[in-house]
Amino acid sequence: MSSSPTEQLTQVTMPQMGISVSEGTILEWRKEVGDAVEADETIADVTTDKVDVEIPCPASGVVEKLLVEAGETVDVGTPIAEISSGSAAGPVAGGPTPPAGETDRSSFYSPIVRRIAEEHGIDLQVVEGTGIGGRVRKRDLVAFIESEPAQAAKAERPMHIESPYVPDAAPALAANGNGTHREPMSTMRQAIARHMVDSRRTAAHCTTIVEVDMHRVAARRAALKESMQRRGVPLTYLAFVARATVEALEEFPVLNASVDGDELVFHGDVNLGIAVALDDGLIVPVIPKAQRLSLEGMAAAIGDVAERARAKKLEPDEVHGGTFTITNPGQFGAVLATPIINQPQVAILDLEAIVKRPVVVEGDAIGVRPMTYLPMSWDHRALDGATAARFLGRVKARLEGWEAD
């Protein structure tokens, strides 16, 4: 498709989605070449380090070119599509229509459709299209593959889709027929994999663990929970641990630091990362300036970022800039773990399940108390075991001695 002299071309670029975001990955194109599009209509879904963002079209017109394929990562400011508009856009917006009796529709297939068809050995002439002018879209081809397994089996080589994100695509079954199959990792899973492997390769990981009696925290939570709930604030044990951690970080600033070459960077604010489990991965939104928050403020902030993370409503900048991270596998019943440090931070604290069990209490008596473990992985490049133990001791003392705020 080429534009006439009366048409204007508008470039769609990878937008700046946050001050800390330098690149984005196309998850899926919502439009294909030849499709009409309105200004501000979503043209593509983009992921930026685990946060998905919808990209609006800057102008009304017709999609002239898609310059970046799904699954490709490009820098902010890179042109990703061209939109044609102007006096000639009207006829084009109706879509190309092949002459009556014409069977060769190859000029109306997008690069993504042609690639998937080639990989499956499928003749696109036999696929019914639902796009403009009867054009075959990706969703048409995927539906055809799922409904015509015999046709898909004619592929000269096994299915391999470069894009890590192909919604509703049927996975290729293994040759042994036992149900084993392969699926491409999601973009989020790939980002997590790279980040965790890089962290293990970068930091000198060590783990220190303390056991904490949470009976004072439990009593305080019981006293405050109902009133906070009426104000719309869910009060969890995590909020108490986060508050105690922030206080301890102010006493042990080396834990609120990062390693930069041969230097330690000590951060003035505690930007607290809270790991949130999603159905398809993990994300760590950041609560900025957490040292300024009261217990209720901390509980409200944790509830807010967790809710928006699960609803995929976080902004890209909200997952960057953390200086210390807390993860909470205990909510799923886990009792002990050794978490991987969230680079470039130097430590990550783990809240495990709070379980009632018999312990020795005052006067060498046996009592039943709500107990938990707090494992912390830390970077031996930045600190030593004694500092890690003293820091955890401070968190433990705050939790075990919790009084009315």
Q: What is the pLDDT of residue 117?
A: 78
Q: In 134-157, which positions are buried (b, 16+ CB within 10 angstroms) versus exposed (e)?
A: ebbbbebbbbbbeeeeebbeebee
Could you state, in order of their start, the residue ranges of all structural domains in the chain? 7-93, 107-184, 189-400
Length of the chain: 405
DSSP 8-state secondary structure symbol assigned to residue 318: G
CB 306 within 8 A of CB 276: yes
Q: What is the pLDDT of residue 226?
A: 95
Residue 262: CB partners within 8 Å, gap ≥ 6? Answer: none
**Active-site entry in 205, 279, 384, 405:** 384
Residue 136: CB partners within 8 Å, gap ≥ 6? Answer: 105, 108, 109, 113, 124, 127, 128, 129
CB 212 within 8 A of CB 400: yes
CB 355 within 8 A of CB 335: yes
To the query of whether residue 195 is one of the catalytic residues in this protein, the response is no
* Rg (alpha carbons) of the chain, rounded to whole number: 27
Please provide the DSSP assignment of 211-256 as one string. Answer: EEE-HHHHHHHHHHHHHHHHTT----HHHHHHHHHHHHHHH-GGGG
Q: What is the pLDDT of residue 389?
A: 98
> pLDDT tens, position by position, for the chain (405 residues)?
555 555 688 999 988 776 667 788 888 899 999 899 998 888 998 887 667 788 889 889 999 999 988 888 888 889 999 999 864 444 333 334 444 444 444 445 655 667 677 777 888 888 887 664 566 766 777 778 877 554 444 443 333 333 344 444 444 444 456 778 888 887 778 888 888 999 999 999 999 999 999 999 999 999 999 999 999 999 999 999 999 999 999 999 999 999 999 999 999 999 999 999 988 788 999 999 999 999 999 999 999 999 999 988 888 889 889 999 999 999 999 999 999 999 999 999 999 999 999 999 888 999 999 999 999 999 999 999 999 999 999 999 999 999 865
Q: What is the pLDDT of residue 245?
A: 98
Looking at the chain, the number of H-run helices and the number of E-run strands are 9, 21
Nearest-angstrom CA–CA distance, 10 and 63:
10
pTM, entire model: 0.68
**Active-site entry in 40, 181, 280, 380:** 380
Among the listed residues 70, 63, 67, 69, the one whose alpha carbon sits nearest the alpha carbon of residue 80: 67
Query: Which residues partner with 42 through β-bridges?
Result: 56
Q: Tell me: domain 189-400, CATH 3.30.559.10, correct? A: yes
DSSP β-ladder status, 36-37 and 23-29: unpaired
Query: CATH number of 7-93: 3.30.70.20, 3.40.50.300, 2.40.50.100, 3.40.190.10?
Result: 2.40.50.100
The total of other beta-carbon atoms located within 10 Å of residue 338's CB is: 13
To the query of whether residue 364 is one of the catalytic residues in this protein, the response is no
Q: What is the pLDDT of residue 349?
A: 98
